[in-house]
């Protein structure tokens, strides 16, 4: 199905291919993107059981080079950059002075003087400006390479079997949250064992001029394994099942990492970083009033963003992301609730239109992860 999309939206290099494959296109974060091809349920199941191929070329990429690159990122980001080695990737947050989140991102280390950041599509320009603004005391060179870089995500239990015949590195030697430079279908690529689905898989960074060639090669190689192109709809249901946060929903300028359950990427003992004092004060004073939790419904209903969460008829929070879980065959949601109601097993009601649907707080992720450690 081809829709008329306003012309002021950006397009990935694969837009014409998406149209040929029958994608339903929607505006997302300033881009024209496929929401689904065959359907969200079919694509979700394909990734969990076989393998799916995502176009995520809307994501932003920023390179940081120079003799102060490591020290700069140690100051800029919440996680501990010192613990990275060449060829490793790291999930981190970039925070405001008040502890709110500028963005969540992946850091890739080529060397102690060369790093690469993958940032959210909607934040690419804002992030670049923020990074440049705080770089003046450091000897670094910062480049926004988003317009030249495409990104594909190959995810699912058969991902390695599809990719290995097409690339010139051994994927058995590539562990989770590590990357290598190599060739895929003779195209220079960054091959990273990362993803946003909870399945084993790979994210590939390559030239926008060559991405169509690689996309088609992967689709052809993946045919015997049941590969399908996958849109943003299933990308969302897959990440919700894993309890992964989405910027603008679970994290943003107001929720802090500690409220969002992301304290594990805030390393207070590494030294000064932007937002440290505010977050340390919140931690030491115990002023957390709400907490991000997962809620699984007992009966029919799909929780959606901004739906009220109640306890004994009183509002105690709201849904930030929700969906029908194809894996669990029930409605699930991420939500911020008052801290006293955040314990696993606590029963809560979600107001879905004009009725209350009961569920309980469960431990995240909603379903087991299958990433390769």
Q: Is the peptide bond before 259 cis (omega within 30 degrees of 0)?
A: no
Spatial separation of the C-alpha atoms in residues 4 and 18, rounded to whole Å: 14
Spatial separation of the C-alpha atoms in residues 64 and 116, rounded to whole Å: 6
- The pLDDT tens digits for 260-298 are 999 999 999 999 999 999 999 999 998 889 999 999 999
Contact predicate 229/23, CB 8 Å: yes
- Asked if pLDDT for residue 2 goes beyond 50, the answer is no
User: Would you place residue 169 in the very low, low, confident or very high pLDDT band (cuts 50, 70, 90)?
Assistant: very high
Percent of the chain with pLDDT over 70: 98
- The pLDDT tens digits for 198-214 are 999 999 999 999 999 99
Q: Is 285 exposed, middle or buried (0-12, 13-18, 19+ CB in 10 A)?
A: exposed
- The pLDDT tens digits for 298-335 are 999 999 999 999 999 999 999 999 999 999 999 999 99
Q: Which residues pair with 107 in a beta bridge?
A: 90, 117
- Asked if pLDDT for residue 1 goes beyond 60, the answer is no
pLDDT at res. 234: 98
Residue-averaged pLDDT of the chain: 96
- The pLDDT tens digits for 59-109 are 999 999 999 999 999 999 999 999 999 999 999 999 999 999 999 999 999
pLDDT at res. 7: 63
Spatial separation of the C-alpha atoms in residues 315 and 311, rounded to whole Å: 6
Spatial separation of the C-alpha atoms in residues 102 and 71, rounded to whole Å: 19
What is the average pLDDT across 44-70?
Answer: 98
Structure-block tokens of residue 55:
């176009």
Domains and CATH numbers, the chain: 1-288 (3.30.1360.120), 289-362 (2.40.30.110)
Spatial separation of the C-alpha atoms in residues 257 and 162, rounded to whole Å: 36
User: Would you place residue 8 in the very low, low, confident or very high pLDDT band (cuts 50, 70, 90)?
Assistant: confident
Structure-block tokens of residue 136:
């003046």
Contact predicate 19/212, CB 8 Å: no
pLDDT at res. 107: 99
Q: Which residues pair with 363 in a beta bridge?
A: none
Spatial separation of the C-alpha atoms in residues 44 and 237, rounded to whole Å: 7
Q: What DSSP string describes 189-221?
A: EEEE---SSSSSEEEEEEETTTHHHHHHHHHHH
């Amino acid at each position: 199905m081809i829709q008329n999309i306003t012309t002021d939206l950006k397009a990935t290099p694969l837009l014409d291919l998406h149209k040929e494959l029958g994608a339903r296109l929607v505006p997302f974060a300033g881009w024209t993107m496929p929401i689904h091809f065959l359907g969200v349920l079919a694509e979700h199941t394909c990734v969990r059981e076989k393998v799916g191929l995502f176009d995520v070329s809307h994501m932003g990429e920023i390179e940081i080079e120079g003799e102060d690159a490591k020290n700069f990122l140690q100051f800029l980001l919440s996680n501990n950059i010192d613990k990275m080695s060449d060829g490793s990737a790291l999930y981190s947050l970039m925070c405001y002075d008040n502890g709110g989140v500028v963005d969540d991102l992946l850091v890739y280390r080529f060397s102690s003087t060369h790093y690469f950041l993958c940032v959210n599509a909607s934040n690419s320009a804002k992030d670049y400006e923020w990074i440049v603004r705080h770089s003046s005391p450091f000897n670094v060179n910062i480049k926004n390479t988003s317009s030249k870089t495409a990104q594909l995500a190959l995810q699912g239990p058969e991902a390695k079997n599809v990719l290995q015949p097409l690339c010139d590195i051994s994927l058995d030697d590539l562990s989770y949250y590590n990357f290598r430079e190599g060739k895929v279908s003779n195209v220079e690529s960054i091959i990273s064992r990362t993803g946003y689905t909870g399945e084993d898989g790979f994210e590939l960074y390559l030239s926008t001029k060559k991405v169509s060639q690689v996309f088609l090669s992967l689709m052809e190689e993946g045919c015997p394994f049941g590969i399908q192109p996958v849109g943003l709809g299933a990308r969302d249901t897959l990440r919700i099942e894993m309890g992964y946060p989405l910027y603008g929903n679970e994290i943003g300028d107001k929720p802090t990492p500690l409220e969002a359950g992301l304290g594990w990427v805030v390393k207070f003992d590494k030294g000064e970083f932007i937002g440290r004092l505010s977050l340390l004060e919140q931690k030491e004073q115990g002023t957390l009033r709400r907490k991000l939790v997962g809620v699984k419904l007992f009966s029919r209903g799909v929780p959606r963003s901004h739906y009220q969460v109640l306890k004994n008829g009183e509002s105690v929070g709201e849904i930030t992301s929700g969906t029908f879980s194809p894996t669990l065959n029930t409605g699930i949601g991420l939500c911020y609730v008052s801290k006293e109601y955040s314990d696993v097993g606590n029963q809560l009601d979600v107001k879905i239109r004009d009725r209350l649907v009961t569920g309980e707080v469960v431990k995240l992720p909603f379903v087991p992860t299958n990433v390769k450690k």
